[in-house]
Structures are given as structure tokens and as C-alpha cells.
């Protein structure tokens, strides 16, 4: 009997198997050309067929070599289930099928290195708190509901420090009130921010599509949506254009790209919408950013001022080891750089310490902090260690609620706007998620993964694709490979984002109108109910059955 090496990898060990119908295949090669992971290849198979052509049974064997499309049984080139082969096949001869018997979790670590991937958290994908909450208070006889189609709604959220009435530097001069000193800058913007995704993490085309959609929403539909640059800087032409006013510049622990931003400051025609200091993110809290060398193309090298290499950000801002230091150094310096005209906010990963951080920021005597962005465990990423992505972090809902209630106890709610992220729009309905988080205390939300899904991303929380870290994105979104980037249609991607946001705006009004609110119902938890007793007790909302 032939010896079998049980350690050899077979197709049945991989997470996806290629279902191939030879009779339909014309060997055009489209599927092989479309596969960016080299998971399939053209090969020859030896086949033996027993046939009989006479009137009486006269079996004979015929041997032939048949060209076929074959799946490679190699972990490094494992099929990710993106389905590009199925999309391009003119004869429906090939498609990926999920393999429930996969051993990939064991095989992935055979090289001795931790597993990396992109995408979002897989652990909490099917157990979302937001899906167990509904709007239960409908204004009918007690107070009138609004007409979502005809009523005028004020859907704006503050980005910047909001002072208490007693803190406003007003003096009365006869019949007029006059300011005796400057107040912190506040920009009133749409309560949905396009989250920080850098040029590098995204392809130049994908980033351009999001920027194009942002400008179009502002200039054609009067929706003051803002977009965050992400770590790594921005193109000089954009920083010197009028469109900079729609952009929030991010400075993260790696400080990538900030030399160019500082050099561009004297040439900026307008101020940016704000500055976001990223301390951490929900997808990999306590870990720095990672941009693999495969994504560090020449444009990215120029913008960031780096050679082609893996770009690792430290887990924290060097020299900032307390909240007080952050306020004194980062906030003061960034505000001074723009002469106190631009609000500066901070972004942290949701954690058990979020409320402590928020309380300290509220007590900031400089009144510098203009926003607290909290990113939950279901946030997306372009590259992270899988163990961090799945097993570190904190769900966003409870942290937003705790921070809001902590501010309420001090009578300081709304002073530092709360922005929630991490899985917002996970099911495709961002309007409902945003409304519920606003009712729990958030001033607004930020979206990331949803945007690239609108651009054509096929990754999901069930293990499909999520190969953002490889630089081989089959949709041309999370790659710098020129051949793959060309697959992305910038205009179509931007159009999808614009149309989604227009629908979201209408849906948000549909949620506000029955409650009777013409402005954002920040903290109106009385509008929400749940059938889950634990959620009701934790969030302080009504339990129903």
C-alpha cells in the first residue's frame, strides 16, 4: 500500500474549495487572470476512459490528457472566496464554495508567525446589541409626530468644544452682548463622518472616490459631511485647494505624512474641518498601525516621506503617557499651529477605561478638546494581527452610554461631543445604527468599512476575502498593484457612496419623525426599548416583552 503523508496540505484543508465543471469550461483563461491570489492555475489531467463502440461489448481503454483549471493546495495561495473567477467566467463553469471542514487555523501558523488579516471582527458578528434595540416610543396623541417628507429637520452635530452658558465670555453693553475673549472653535457638521482610512491602506482610486463623494455631497446636496484623512498625510494639491475645508486631518502615533502637512500650512487657502489625534482604534486596540511594504507604492512613499518598507506605528504617541500630557502637548500645539481656529479631537479604542479618559478631558481647564471619538471592537482595518482583531477591544454601545451618563452626572453633557464607531452599518443599515447610538448619547457616528463595501469590497464577517493586508485586493480597493487598482471605477464608487448617504439622510428623518424630534435626539434613551433584560439593565432603557 502506498504511504500517505498526512501532514501534506490538500484542498480539503483550505477554507474555500473551487467547484469546477470541466464540461462547461472553454479554457479562455479569464478566471486564472482574474484571481489576484494565484489560487487557481491551468493544468493538465490524465484521464482514462473505458469505451465500447461495437454492436457487442468490446471494452477498450482510452487515455487522454485534458486541460483543466485546478485549485492550488498551498496555504500561501489559498482561495479567499472573493468570487472574481465566477464573475468573469462566461460559462458559469467555476465558483468558490465554503469548506466547513477547513483546517486553516492550524495551517496558518505553521510558519511560526502570527496570522494577519484585514476586515472586521468575526466574534461578535452575529450578536449585535443594536439589533436587539428598537424605537418603541412613537408620538401619536401625547405629542404630534412629524412629517418626514415635509418637515424641516436640523440634522447637525457639533465638532468642537461647546461651552456651558456660565462659561461664555459675554458682557452686557447696554442692549448688546459682547465677547471679551475667543471661544473654542466649533463646526456644525453632518452627524456621519467618513472615517479615517489612509492613502496606503486604500488604493489611490478608492481614496479619491471617497473624497469625490464628500465634495459632491457638500456642494450639490448641502450635506456637510466630513472625511478624515487617516494616518499618512494627503496630496499637496488637495491641501492647497478649497476642498480642504471638508477634510479632517489625522495625526497618529507614527506621524507619517505630517512633514508635508506642516510644509503645506502656509499655502492652505482654507482651514481643515478639524484635527483628529488617533491614540487607538477599535480593530486593534493597544497596537500600532501596520502598512505592509506591498502597499507602500511610490505615491505613498512620496506622501509619507518613507522608503518602501513595512510601516509600523508605535502603540502610543511617544512622550505622551498621560491624559494631562496629551492635553498640554498635543492639543496646545495643534491648536496653536492653526491659531486656535480649528477644533482638535481625540480618538481612542473603546475599553474599560474610556469613561476615565472622557472625565479627564471634560475637566480640561484649557477647554481645548473638541471631540471624543470612541471606536468599538467591530471596527474595520486594512491589516492587523488576527488575535488582536478578534480578541481585544470592547463593544461600542455600552461605552457610549457610560460616557454620556458620566457627563450627565456632572451637568456637562454635550460639552465634548461624543462620536461612535466600530460596526456602524454592519448590517447595511447605518441610519438605524446611528439613530440608536445618538439616542444613547452619541452626537454622531463615523463609518469606514461600509464605504469600501459601497466601492465594491466583497469581504464580510464570515471569512470571505478579508485579505486587505496582502495587497492583492481583488476589487482594487485595498491594494497599490496598478493592475488591480484599475478594476475600481472611481465615478461608480463615488456615486454609490453619494446615493447611500442620500438614502441614509431620508431614513434618519424617518427615524426622527415618529419620535417627534426635528433635531438630533441626543440622549433620548426613552425612545428605545429592548426585549433583552440584560441590555435594558445595562443601558437604562425600557424592557418590553
Binding residues, by number, are: 25, 28, 31, 35, 79, 82, 85, 89
What is the helix (H) or strand (E) element at residue 276, kind and residue range?
strand 274-278
**Helix (H/G/I), strand (E/B), else coil: 59:** coil
Contact 122, 390 (CB under 8 A): yes
Grid cell for residue 360: 479627564
- Binding-site residue positions for [4Fe-4S] cluster: 25, 28, 31, 35, 79, 82, 85, 89
Q: In terms of residues, how long is the chain?
A: 545
**Cell triple for residue 53?**
463502440
Separation of alpha carbons 42 and 69, rounded Å: 5
The three grid cell numbers given for residue 83, joined into one nine-digit string: 468570487
Q: Report the C-alpha gap between 187 and 276 in whole angstroms.
A: 14
Q: What are phi and psi of 196, to 5 degrees?
A: -75, 110
List all residues 6 or more positions away from 68 whose beta carbon is below 8 Å from its beta carbon: 20, 22, 25, 42, 43, 44, 45
Distance CA 35, CA 42 (A): 12
- The Cα–Cα gap between 162 and 207 comes to 31
Task: Tell me how far apart the alpha carbons of residues 538 and 71 are, in angstroms, rounded to a whole number.
Answer: 49
Residue 222, classed as helix, strand or coil, is coil
Closest to 207 (Cα-Cα) out of 430, 498, 493, 495: 493
Task: Calculate the alpha carbon distances from 417 to 336, 362, 523 in Å.
Answer: 21, 10, 12
Distance, CA of 421 to CA of 445 (rounded, Å):
6
CA nearest neighbour of 51 among 40, 60, 42, 43:
60
CA distance 545 to 539: 17
Angle CA 242–258–454, to nearest 5: 60
- ∠174-177-179 over CA atoms, to 5°? 130
Amino acid at each position: 500500500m502506498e504511504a500517505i503523508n498526512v501532514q501534506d496540505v490538500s484542498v480539503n484543508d483550505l477554507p474555500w474549495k473551487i467547484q469546477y465543471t470541466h464540461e462547461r469550461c472553454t479554457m479562455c483563461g479569464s478566471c486564472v487572470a482574474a484571481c489576484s491570489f494565484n489560487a487557481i492555475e491551468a493544468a493538465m489531467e490524465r484521464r482514462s476512459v473505458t469505451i465500447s463502440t461495437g454492436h457487442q461489448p468490446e471494452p477498450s481503454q482510452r487515455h487522454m490528457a485534458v486541460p483543466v483549471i485546478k485549485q492550488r493546495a498551498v496555504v500561501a495561495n489559498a482561495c479567499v472566496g472573493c468570487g472574481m473567477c465566477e464573475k468573469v467566467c462566461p460559462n458559469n463553469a467555476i465558483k468558490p464554495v465554503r469548506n466547513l471542514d477547513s483546517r486553516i487555523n492550524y495551517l496558518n501558523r505553521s510558519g511560526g508567525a502570527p496570522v494577519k488579516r484585514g476586515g472586521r471582527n468575526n466574534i461578535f458578528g452575529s450578536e449585535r446589541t443594536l439589533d436587539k434595540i428598537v424605537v418603541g416610543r412613537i408620538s401619536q396623541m401625547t405629542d404630534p409626530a412629524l412629517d418626514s417628507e415635509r418637515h424641516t429637520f436640523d440634522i447637525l452635530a457639533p465638532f468642537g468644544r461647546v461651552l456651558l452658558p456660565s462659561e461664555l465670555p459675554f458682557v452686557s453693553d447696554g442692549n448688546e452682548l459682547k465677547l471679551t475673549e475667543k471661544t473654542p472653535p466649533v463646526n456644525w457638521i453632518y452627524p456621519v463622518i467618513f472615517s479615517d482610512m489612509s492613502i496606503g491602506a486604500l488604493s489611490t482610486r478608492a481614496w479619491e472616490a471617497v473624497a469625490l463623494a464628500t465634495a459632491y455631497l457638500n456642494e450639490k446636496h448641502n450635506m456637510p459631511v466630513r472625511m478624515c484623512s487617516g494616518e499618512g498625510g494627503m496630496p499637496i494639491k488637495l491641501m492647497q485647494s478649497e476642498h480642504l475645508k471638508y477634510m479632517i486631518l489625522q495625526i497618529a502615533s507614527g506621524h507619517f505624512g505630517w512633514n508635508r502637512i506642516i510644509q503645506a500650512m502656509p499655502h492652505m487657502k482654507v482651514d481643515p474641518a478639524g484635527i483628529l489625534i488617533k491614540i487607538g482604534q477599535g480593530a486593534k486596540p493597544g497596537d500600532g498601525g501596520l502598512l505592509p511594504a506591498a502597499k507602500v507604492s511610490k505615491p505613498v512613499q512620496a506622501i509619507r516621506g518613507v522608503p518602501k518598507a513595512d510601516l509600523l506605528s508605535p502603540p502610543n504617541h511617544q512622550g505622551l503617557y498621560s491624559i494631562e500630557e496629551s492635553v498640554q502637548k498635543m492639543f496646545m500645539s495643534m491648536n496653536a499651529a492653526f491659531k486656535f481656529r480649528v477644533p482638535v479631537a481625540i480618538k481612542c479604542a473603546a475599553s474599560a477605561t474610556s469613561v476615565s479618559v472622557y472625565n479627564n478631558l471634560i475637566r480640561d481647564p484649557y477647554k481645548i478638546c473638541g471631540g471624543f471619538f470612541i471606536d468599538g471592537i467591530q471596527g474595520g482595518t486594512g491589516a492587523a494581527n488576527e488575535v488582536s482583531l478578534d480578541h481585544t477591544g470592547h463593544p461600542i454601545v455600552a461605552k457610549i452610554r457610560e460616557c454620556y451618563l458620566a457627563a450627565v452626572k456632572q451637568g456637562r453633557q454635550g460639552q465634548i461631543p461624543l462620536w461612535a464607531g466600530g460596526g456602524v452599518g454592519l448590517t447595511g443599515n447605518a441610519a438605524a445604527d446611528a439613530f440608536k447610538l445618538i439616542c444613547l448619547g452619541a452626537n454622531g457616528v463615523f463609518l469606514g468599512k461600509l464605504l469600501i463595501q459601497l466601492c465594491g469590497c466583497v469581504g464580510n464577517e464570515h471569512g470571505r476575502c478579508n485579505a486587505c493586508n496582502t495587497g492583492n485586493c481583488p476589487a482594487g480597493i485595498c491594494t497599490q498593484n496598478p493592475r488591480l487598482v484599475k478594476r475600481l471605477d472611481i465615478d461608480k464608487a463615488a456615486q454609490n457612496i453619494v446615493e447611500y448617504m442620500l438614502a441614509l439622510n431620508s431614513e434618519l428623518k424617518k427615524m426622527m419623525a415618529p419620535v417627534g424630534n426635528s433635531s438630533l435626539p441626543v440622549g433620548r434613551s426613552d425612545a428605545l426599548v429592548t426585549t433583552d433584560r440584560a441590555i435594558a439593565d445595562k443601558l437604562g432603557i425600557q424592557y418590553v416583552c
